[in-house]
Structure 1
Amino acid sequence: MSDQNCFISYASEDLHIAQTLYRRLREFGLRPWMDKPPRPYHMEGLKPGELWEDRLRDVISSAKYFIPLFSKTSVQKTGYVQSEFRQALSRLAQIPAGNIFVIPVRIEECRIPSARIDGISFAQYQYYDCWHANFFDLTTYLADLEGKPATHGPRIKTDVYTAAEFLGALRPNVEIVVRNGFSLTGVDIPDNQYVFLREVFDGEEIVIQGIDNTSISGVGEPEISVSPRYATTLNFERSDGIAISGLSLGHRPDIGECLGAVLNFSDCTAIQVKDCRLFGCGTYGFELSGCNIVSIEDCDVFECSYGFFTCENVTALSLSSVEFYDSLCFDVVTAKNSSITFDGCTITNNRSRADHCKIFNTYRTNLQFSETAVDIGGFDGLGLSPGLKGVHVTRDGARWKIADETLFSSHQRKPIPSPRQREEKSDEVLIFVIDESYDRIDEYVNWDDYADEWAATDAASKIFLSRIKSEFDAEFDEANIGPGADLPAFVTVIASNVVPLIPWLMAVFFSGKPIVDNIEAWRTILSKVKPFFRRTVVLNRNGAAVLAMDAVFEDMGGMPKKVILHGYKPDYRYDDAQLVAPTEIEDPVPTLNLSMVKHVFHIEADGVSFVVAVDGSKAAVKRV
């Protein structure tokens, strides 16, 4: 298929679903075409200045496969999509019998058009049903047609009764039926490439990564729980086509004692959670980051200690018949750069944990409502513009009581953390600016203007955040870099769109391979990092590497021709023992531990070896 296309035809209202199919086809090594492909493929569609009618005609006439996405919208719509349908049917009349050209796909329940051109209609052809944008079967079929069969085996069904059986069964293309409840705390991880443990402050949490077309259903609503206070019950990362139903999921300590969410999805697509009970005492019922097409249906979410859910950079989150109740909340829903629909949902019987908390705290987020009831009693308003349609607002307030020592326990009076701690990726440099207002509240606000310590702390922190945003002309997110005792900070990022060589430099440097080209790019990155040193700053491994390299350049009096990393170790920052050159390249530390470490590098430059220790924005270098 090197010179052929899968043409994706869709209604503009279904753009995000079509873009999901595009990504999936690319992942399978196929070559799709659509007019508006997703990033980073956006320049492979219609280009500026092209005559779109001519271009579409040319692509359809040369395409090997034509994939129309049928929805209730596309089958009734007039305009471009119908023109594409007609062109495909005309081309189909010229295709020899037995050759596959059109592969109809229904993305929701609808009737495929029966209109005929040259005696041919789409309704004559067998179609695929790809609900919730799960294109696993379709892409597998196309890959097989092109001689690129998938490596997974046939879809299997397996019953599980224990935590060990559950973790062992997790893999792509499997249907898992949970027959009995269990706890995931303290379970030995089986030999499974899709499951691993991640350390949290008071234990470990399970992370499920890279599974596709996997369903997890319960019989009799079995309960899956965890008990570490900081652990999320189930984490899914970089997974597509995940369906969870008929389960009760949550934490087992008393309400108000957990700082982990119930469900977390990161960089996932085509997610469905249905007929489930998500209970705290965790922070949120669910957290979403970088996800596309998520459906939460017929679920109860209750006894959470921070709010209903958080989402960031999420396309097409749909909540239908979801009830959120009996919870302690800061802002109930926190959303950034997302699109969300509520249909037949209720948010009632919840208590605000502080002054100035709202139901919705949103930034660049599109919200749509239908037959949704929200009670704002005890909160500082809805948090949205007045006159919204489809939402009924009441002011009844919570009808349940919680002891004040639970509501205002010491570990909960701290400012609300980010929905999920930002961890440094290989293609970016994170800069953590310490919240200087944390122990200097009276320099920012008047204590008498606030009802309690938490409200004053929060107000001071917001003032500091506003100042650094203006000072550096940058966006910041909240972070916590202090284990045990909170050390709040704000994090911003220098990514490859600012310095394109960041991914390449970091990948080669931390692989231990020599760098002989583009060495001056380290100084370019430093020029972007250094302005932040006017404040108290903490860096993770990538940022520390930039300072370490600059310290080597300064010691040498110029730029070397060749550098290589022999070792890296995050060391205890208060250990004043003589620096020892590390011999292995270790992983970066979690964000939560950053305030406790200094970064130690063993770097060779033009045959000279250096040990460099980076602590905050300072670097100490010596030759060895």
Structure 2
Amino acid sequence: MSDDYCFISCASEDLHIAQTLYRRLRELGLHPWMDKPPRPYHMEGLKPGEIWEDRLRNTISSAKYFIPLFSKASVQKTGYVQSEFRQALSRLSQIPAGKIFVIPVRVEDCKIPSVRIDGISFAQYQYYDCWHGNFFDLTAYLAALEGKQVAHGPKQKIEVTTAAEFLDALRPNTEIVVRKGFSLTGVAVPENPHIYAREVFDGEEIVIHGIDNISISGVGEQEISVSPRYATTLIFERSNGILVSGLSLGHRPDIGECQGAVLSFSNCTAIQVRDCRLFGCGTYGFELLECDLVKIEDCSVFECSYGFFTSENVTALSLSRVAFYDSLCFDVVTAKNSIITFDGCSIENNRSRHDNCKIFNTYKADLKFIETAIDIGGFGGLGLSPDPKGVHVTRNGSRWEIPDKLFLMPHQRESLPSPPQREEQPDEVLIFIIDESYDRIDEHVNLGEYADEGAATDAASRVFLSRIKSEFDTDFDEVNIGPGADLPAFVTVISENVVPLIPWLIAVFFSGKPIVDNIDAWRAILSKIKPFFHRTVVLNRNGAAVLAMNAVFEDMGGIPKKVVLHGYKPDYRYDEAQLVAPTEIKDPIPTLNLGTVKHVFHIEADGVLFVVAVDGSKVIAKRA
């Protein structure tokens, strides 16, 4: 091991904070060390079979910097962390005057210990305050000590009153003050490397990515909204040190059913959302994926159409004094592989979409509650072990009068959540053609000939159905493939009576077994699907597999001798730069959800690995 590394010392309660610092230092090209580093660096710390006392003593004695993280837990705790502190103080007596070795860091308001060893204590040294995992000043200082250039400095304050000014101001190390509310819909995206527009079914959504150390605050609770039902209001990707405060965020103009959330964070660290109102009709108040150190405090979340929030692979999510109410929910909170604390929160006055919906739907999630009130009236239960500590459970039910528009949007054929749908069979390729008359009634019928818009809508749909039946010379069934926001479509089937090998190919492919015979039959199936592509189409898992295989064939310049599927997952959104190979083969999802699903495959062909994403007729493939 080189002697230019930074030893990070922390209490076990602060492990996730220390791991965040570890990642930041690695990103800057520095060499941190800790006993339990985060993945994928987990084998760089203490290794199985090592004598930990010897390893820690040797590592501290040869480290260039020692960074103790002080918190209320670490200053009071006995055990390993105190042993590390004592060893560092002992080494300080050997460090030449003026040379930097110890850099104390407070991760919360606490008193640094004044205990002395050889007349030296940590309290003698200037410390850094790094609240909520914001290590930008500290890492910039360490980088400067090592002669590395870091684009970090004091935040530039920019006041904005329009969406265009807001988008232009989205840059690292910036404090954006919103003095007047605006809509992000229909705004031209400027030449800014940190934002881009992503197409959704009924418009575009703005994605903010690669921004560090940014705050967005409102003066007088200004509102930022979007109007496309499929757009998320604010999306952050691969960003660190984010503060959103004093704002109202949601969908306009009316309450209804949307397919976009209010806030979305993926692969982000050190997130704070405080003093905000997150309102529907978004699916969830916020969505978190692969995030660390998230704090939501003093916020209200209401009028959502799916639930409170989703959290997947999130460490140290803390919700303090957050109220969720007046919403129509499936499972209220969906959490997977996440560590979450609820402190002084309330989940009350919400309605369940059906009897088996629960408050919590969790998988490998660690939930802690402190003085939190939850009403389960109308839901199928809490979804947790009986009588969790820190929760006051009631069964009062909702007193909220659900607005009609939350159930019925214009042109809907029936009230949600029971739209028509067709469940696929294991050996069928389903092709869904989106009903193009849905929002273009006057292109199909004369509105003046009908008593009301509903009658005109039904007539327009029948005209469109007649056209595609004639165009493709096949039968279609009416379905709905959009949960929440209605997405009517017409479905047709390609099965073994069209391509006899379909049942065998599909069964072997999704079993994960190698295919070495009749591989060219995939192109026979493709030839039956492609004629539909001049319409807007959605495919089920089997149909998407055909397009994925064809993408592999095109990349390899021909038909491979052997193909095997290593993984498949349905995903609600993806970015080409972030395609991740699934490691297991997931089951197909209900057709009701297909309207927003992208199919992701991990395929091996003649020893070459591919990740392929299929979104309707659009395919993105890359070698893994």
**Fold match (TM-score > 0.5):** yes
Change (3 A) 1:238 1:435: farther
Judge conservation of contact 2:597–2:615 (CA < 8 Å) in 1: no
Give the alignment partner of residue 416 of structure 2, picking from 410, 413, 416: 413
Residues 179-207 of structure 1: CA deviation (Å, up to 9, x unaligned)? 11111111111111001100000000000
Question: What SS is found at the alignment partner of 2:393?
Answer: strand
Q: Which residue number corresponds to residue 552 of structure 2?
A: 546
Q: Which residue number corresponds to residue 94 of structure 1?
A: 94
CA RMSD between the two structures? 3.8
Correspondence 1:338 to 2:344: no
Q: How does 1:512-591 map to 2 (within 5 A)?
A: 536-539=542-545, 544-548=550-554, 552-554=558-560
Judge conservation of contact 1:526–1:547 (CA < 8 Å) in 2: no
Q: Which residue number corresponds to residue 246 of structure 1?
A: 246
Q: How does 1:136-535 map to 2 (within 5 A)?
A: 136-402=136-402, 406-407=406-407, 410=412, 413=416, 435-436=424-425, 484-485=487-488
Change (3 A) 1:105 1:544: farther
Per the TM alignment, residue 588 of structure 1 is displaced from its structure 2 partner at its CA by 11
Structure 1 residue ranges without an equivalent (≥5): 417-433, 441-477, 489-523, 560-585, 600-613, 620-624
Judge conservation of contact 1:255–1:304 (CA < 8 Å) in 2: no
Residues 13-58 of structure 1: CA deviation (Å, up to 9, x unaligned)? 1111111110000000100001111111111111111111111111
Q: Which residue number corresponds to residue 48 of structure 1?
A: 48
Q: Which residue number corresponds to residue 518 of structure 1?
A: none
Judge conservation of contact 1:201–1:483 (CA < 8 Å) in 2: no
Q: Which residue number corresponds to residue 504 of structure 2?
A: none
Judge conservation of contact 1:278–1:299 (CA < 8 Å) in 2: yes
Per the TM alignment, residue 392 of structure 1 is displaced from its structure 2 partner at its CA by 0.5
- In structure 2, distance between residues paired with 1:536 and 1:330: 27
Q: Which residue number corresponds to residue 68 of structure 2?
A: 68
Per the TM alignment, residue 400 of structure 1 is displaced from its structure 2 partner at its CA by 2.1
Question: What SS is found at the alignment partner of 2:249?
Answer: strand
Question: What SS is found at the alignment partner of 1:116?
Answer: coil
Per the TM alignment, residue 553 of structure 1 is displaced from its structure 2 partner at its CA by 4.1
Judge conservation of contact 1:539–1:616 (CA < 8 Å) in 2: no
Judge conservation of contact 1:358–1:379 (CA < 8 Å) in 2: yes
Change (3 A) 1:67 1:180: same
Change (3 A) 1:548 1:329: same
- In structure 1, distance between residues paired with 2:546 and 2:129: 45
Q: Which residue number corresponds to residue 590 of structure 2?
A: none
Residues 112-153 of structure 1: CA deviation (Å, up to 9, x unaligned)? 000011111001111111111111111111011100020345
Judge conservation of contact 2:300–2:324 (CA < 8 Å) in 1: yes
Question: What SS is found at the alignment partner of 1:290?
Answer: strand
Residues 425-447 of structure 1: CA deviation (Å, up to 9, x unaligned)? xxxxxxxxx8549999xxxxxxx
- In structure 2, distance between residues paired with 1:92 and 1:208: 44
Residues 88-134 of structure 1: CA deviation (Å, up to 9, x unaligned)? 01111111111110000111111100001111100111111111111
- In structure 1, distance between residues paired with 2:2 and 2:488: 56
Question: What SS is found at the alignment partner of 1:373?
Answer: strand
- In structure 1, distance between residues paired with 2:562 and 2:245: 61
- In structure 2, distance between residues paired with 1:615 and 1:18: 39
Change (3 A) 1:85 1:318: same
Per the TM alignment, residue 3 of structure 1 is displaced from its structure 2 partner at its CA by 4.0
Counterpart residue type for residue 378 of structure 1: G
Per the TM alignment, residue 484 of structure 1 is displaced from its structure 2 partner at its CA by 4.5
Judge conservation of contact 1:525–1:546 (CA < 8 Å) in 2: no
Change (3 A) 1:148 1:587: closer
Per the TM alignment, residue 387 of structure 1 is displaced from its structure 2 partner at its CA by 1.8
Per the TM alignment, residue 348 of structure 1 is displaced from its structure 2 partner at its CA by 0.8
Q: Which residue number corresponds to residue 107 of structure 1?
A: 107
Per the TM alignment, residue 406 of structure 1 is displaced from its structure 2 partner at its CA by 3.8
Judge conservation of contact 2:257–2:407 (CA < 8 Å) in 1: no
Change (3 A) 1:483 1:373: closer
Change (3 A) 1:10 1:546: same
Judge conservation of contact 2:160–2:177 (CA < 8 Å) in 1: yes
Question: What SS is found at the alignment partner of 1:100?
Answer: coil
Question: What SS is found at the alignment partner of 1:392?
Answer: strand
Change (3 A) 1:528 1:484: farther
- In structure 2, distance between residues paired with 1:438 and 1:330: 30
Judge conservation of contact 1:538–1:594 (CA < 8 Å) in 2: no
Per the TM alignment, residue 326 of structure 1 is displaced from its structure 2 partner at its CA by 0.8
- In structure 2, distance between residues paired with 1:382 and 1:414: 22
Question: What SS is found at the alignment partner of 2:342?
Answer: strand
| Identity between Structure 1 and Structure 2 (%) | 70
Per the TM alignment, residue 173 of structure 1 is displaced from its structure 2 partner at its CA by 1.1
Per the TM alignment, residue 541 of structure 1 is displaced from its structure 2 partner at its CA by 7.5
Change (3 A) 1:180 1:117: same
- In structure 1, distance between residues paired with 2:597 and 2:308: 30
- In structure 1, distance between residues paired with 2:7 and 2:197: 41
Judge conservation of contact 1:6–1:32 (CA < 8 Å) in 2: yes
Correspondence 1:59 to 2:65: no
Per the TM alignment, residue 255 of structure 1 is displaced from its structure 2 partner at its CA by 2.2
Per the TM alignment, residue 162 of structure 1 is displaced from its structure 2 partner at its CA by 1.0
Q: Which residue number corresponds to residue 462 of structure 2?
A: none
Judge conservation of contact 1:251–1:279 (CA < 8 Å) in 2: yes
Question: What SS is found at the alignment partner of 1:358?
Answer: coil
TM-score (norm 2): 0.71
Residues 285-339 of structure 1: CA deviation (Å, up to 9, x unaligned)? 0000111110000001011111111111111111000001111111111111111
- In structure 1, distance between residues paired with 2:105 and 2:598: 53
Q: Which residue number corresponds to residue 4 of structure 2?
A: 4
Counterpart residue type for residue 42 of structure 1: H
Change (3 A) 1:404 1:525: closer
- In structure 2, distance between residues paired with 1:439 and 1:542: 16
Change (3 A) 1:525 1:5: farther
Correspondence 1:130 to 2:130: yes
- In structure 2, distance between residues paired with 1:214 and 1:153: 12
Judge conservation of contact 1:540–1:588 (CA < 8 Å) in 2: no
Per the TM alignment, residue 535 of structure 1 is displaced from its structure 2 partner at its CA by 7.8
Per the TM alignment, residue 487 of structure 1 is displaced from its structure 2 partner at its CA by 9.8
Counterpart residue type for residue 252 of structure 2: R
Residues 382-441 of structure 1: CA deviation (Å, up to 9, x unaligned)? 11110211000111111122256743665873589xxxxxxxxxxxxxxxxx8549999x
Change (3 A) 1:122 1:412: farther
Judge conservation of contact 2:598–2:615 (CA < 8 Å) in 1: no
- In structure 2, distance between residues paired with 1:587 and 1:7: 33
- In structure 1, distance between residues paired with 2:167 and 2:594: 27
Judge conservation of contact 2:86–2:117 (CA < 8 Å) in 1: yes
Change (3 A) 1:588 1:87: closer
Per the TM alignment, residue 378 of structure 1 is displaced from its structure 2 partner at its CA by 1.2
Structure 2 residue ranges without an equivalent (≥5): 430-480, 492-508, 523-539, 564-575, 580-592, 602-613, 620-624
Question: What SS is found at the alignment partner of 2:72?
Answer: coil
TM-score (norm 1): 0.71
Change (3 A) 1:71 1:14: same
